[in-house]
Structure 1
Amino acid sequence: MPKVFGFAGFSGVGKTTLIEQLIPLITREGVRTSVIKHAHHDFDIDRPGKDSYRHREAGAYEVLITADRRWVLMHELRDEPEPTLEEQLTRLSPCDLVIVEGFKRSLIPKIEVYRAANGKPLLYPQDPNIIAVASDEAMDCKGLPVLPLNDPPAIAQFILARIVGKTHD
């Protein structure tokens, strides 16, 4: 099973942007990395009129699209409950690290991404699985490391050392 590490925070604080900046830094260290992103709304990666869309709309349970550069499997829940993070992890190909965006209540180690200007409360006081806070300003988080949000290499090194057990040479 790969190491699993999450990012939590309210919408608009920059979780996706930070993860996008971290992936090349982590993979450059030889860590094969995958991502699971939780969406809180109905989303669709398919477009009306496309063959795969038409197959799903016709009632297909799963549609797999494959080409010489990538493949994607779309699975319709059709009144089934949303799978848990643990269930989704079993569907990934082997890797070293899975970065999780969302699933903020999951029992995985995570960094809280926080911007005071967003006007939302900190999550770490209610979540013992938050092991650090990444913020755009200095703050006291009662013993938790506070990482500079605008320094992705420092955050990548924190993840590599704490989660993957790898330090920069």
Structure 2
Amino acid sequence: MAVAHRADDLIRLFNELFSEEYRCQLVCGQHEPLYRPTTDPGAFHRLEFAHGFFASALHEVAHWCIAGEQRRRQVDLGYWYLPERDPMQQAEFEAVEVAPQVLESVFSDAAGFKFRPSLDNLELRPDPAEFLAKVKQAKAERLAAGLPTRAAQFHR
């Protein structure tokens, strides 16, 4: 029987694990994913994923799990987004994306959800095979070394 993959389950898990200590909540956004830090001590940082998509939630959680304290103080964790990139920009994007996509793959495995790497460039249409090979190699190394603390908590 197929397992239902509900973003609400990820929201509940993330918020139970991280709301109190990190003052961060995972929320379903209506637009593109975005991390919104707050300076209000009574408010929560918001990790918004796109349109209720399970994969988007896993991807944004992966980014958050590897972001250090400085990045977690910045809008969108200090990352930039260019919707269409030239080959050099695409190479930079892929170099940054390996680590979060490794964690997304680990989380997908734990949830029984098919991981699909994202190169996020409709114009250039890069070949995902080379990137997927990098993700698989980095995943093996990451699993051998152990997951970062927050990623290990979410993975359990």
TM-score (norm 2): 0.31
Give 1 or 2 for the bigger CA radius of gyration. 1
Q: Which structure carries more relative contact order (alpha carbon 8 Å, separation 6+)?
A: 1
TM-score (norm 1): 0.30
Higher helix share: 2
Higher strand share: 1
